[in-house]
């Protein structure tokens, strides 16, 4: 599929959740097997246009995530390519058993678009924060786990996910700004990380909205003579082992950064690999093992150190 970045960006309105909907809309135009399932999330994911132009390709399943996930599995068994669209906290935890049994265990190619992940819904409180979803999804055999860093990457990874032989989880943002980090004209690959900034002293491996913060941290560190490599690990599973091991070998220190609780997320994935194959000193920028406070997303992020300053601090700590 040819991609015109400017045209696409206008459709996304700088939101990865809408980029997912745009990708599903474009896939549905080309592939009669593609169908979207909305758990009362038509506008959240940007499916209104598809629903109006091809009503039978958007299946509204209501506020019933368990049933939505089961239907998706059934659709996949008869040869459809279902794309489930939901709120990250509910489409993972509420439908967890359907996700495990009907989708992952039965190995059905269901693509899950999980909007408002992390603490995008900061003011909504702990019920609406999705900060253990990566742990749940990573622990699921057969599951591919993608964390786009910006809307363009969300669009391109969703297109790439359509060819995947098995279920795919795509972690999406909410209504907070998602500054672009994807170099124009490039195309992300599942299982391949992107080195966005070269560096030799420390490597920051980040995903999602923390990639922007990592790049800012690298600039800050560079100003004081510290050379920081920045890797966008959009593919949390399969992890790009080579990129991690190369970074460990060449920079000797690793910082991970994610909008997720520490247990089971990107930091865990990187640590599990390095502990076995190339142990190096590490620091983790992640949410602590507690429920986050209620508040505007930027303030909650700052409270828990999901910031460029905290990432830069972790880098300096490692070289101290």
* Interaction site with another protein (CB under 8 A): 35, 56, 59, 61-62, 64, 66-67, 69-80, 82, 97-98, 101-102, 105-107
Min. distance of Cβ 87 from another protein in angstroms?
16
Min. distance of Cβ 53 from another protein in angstroms?
16
Min. distance of Cβ 102 from another protein in angstroms?
6
Min. distance of Cβ 110 from another protein in angstroms?
10
60 or 298: CB nearest another protein: 60
6 or 165: CB nearest another protein: 165
CA-to-CA distance for 90 and 83, rounded, in angstroms? Answer: 15
81 or 128: CB nearest another protein: 81
The sheet with strand 202-206 has its strands ordered as: 194-197, 228-232, 202-206, 254-261, 282-287
Query: 119 and 89 in contact (C-beta within 8 Å)?
Result: no
Min. distance of Cβ 67 from another protein in angstroms?
4
**CA 196 from centroid of its chain's CA atoms:** 17
CA-to-CA distance for 26 and 13, rounded, in angstroms? Answer: 16
| Burial class for 184, CB neighbours closer than 10 Å (0-12, 13-18, 19+) | exposed
Beta-bridge mates of residue 124:
none
103 or 190: CB nearest another protein: 103
Q: Say how many residues make up the chain.
A: 320
CA-to-CA distance for 217 and 47, rounded, in angstroms? Answer: 36
102 or 150: CB nearest another protein: 102
| Burial class for 79, CB neighbours closer than 10 Å (0-12, 13-18, 19+) | exposed
Q: What are φ and ψ of residue 238, in 5° steps?
A: -70, 140
61 or 117: CB nearest another protein: 61
68 or 235: CB nearest another protein: 68
Query: 311 and 256 in contact (C-beta within 8 Å)?
Result: no
Min. distance of Cβ 58 from another protein in angstroms?
11
Min. distance of Cβ 79 from another protein in angstroms?
7
Reduced to 3 states, what is the DSSP secondary structure of residue 316?
helix
């Amino acid at each position: 599929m040819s991609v015109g970045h400017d045209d696409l960006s206008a459709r996304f309105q700088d939101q990865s959740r809408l980029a997912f909907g745009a990708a599903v809309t474009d896939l549905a135009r080309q592939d009669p097997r593609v169908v979207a399932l909305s758990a009362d999330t038509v506008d959240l994911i940007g499916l209104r246009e598809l629903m109006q132009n091809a009503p039978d390709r958007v299946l509204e399943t209501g506020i019933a995530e368990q049933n939505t996930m089961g239907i998706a599995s059934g659709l996949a068994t008869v040869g459809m390519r279902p794309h489930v669209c939901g709120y990250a906290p509910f489409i993972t935890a509420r439908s967890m058993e359907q996700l495990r049994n009907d989708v992952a265990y039965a190995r059905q190619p269901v693509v899950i678009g999980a909007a408002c992940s992390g603490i995008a819904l900061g003011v909504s409180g702990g019920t609406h924060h999705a900060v253990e979803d990566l742990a749940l999804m990573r622990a699921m055999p057969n599951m591919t786990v993608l964390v786009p860093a910006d809307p363009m990457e969300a669009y391109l990874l969703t297109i790439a996910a359509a060819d995947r032989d098995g279920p795919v989880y795509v972690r999406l943002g909410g209504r907070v700004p998602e500054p672009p980090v994807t170099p124009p004209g490039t195309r992300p690959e599942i299982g391949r990380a992107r080195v966005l900034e070269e560096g030799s002293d420390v490597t920051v491996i980040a995903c999602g909205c923390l990639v922007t913060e990592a790049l800012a941290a690298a600039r800050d560190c560079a100003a004081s003579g510290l050379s920081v490599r920045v890797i966008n690990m959009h593919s949390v599973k399969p992890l790009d082992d080579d990129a991690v091991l190369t970074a460990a070998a060449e920079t000797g220190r690793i910082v991970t950064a994610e909008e997720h609780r520490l247990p089971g997320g990107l930091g865990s994935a990187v640590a599990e690999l390095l502990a076995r194959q190339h142990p190096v000193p590490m620091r983790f920028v992640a949410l602590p093992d507690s429920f986050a406070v209620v508040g505007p997303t930027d303030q909650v992020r700052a409270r828990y150190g999901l910031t460029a300053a905290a990432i830069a601090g972790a880098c300096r700590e490692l070289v101290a």
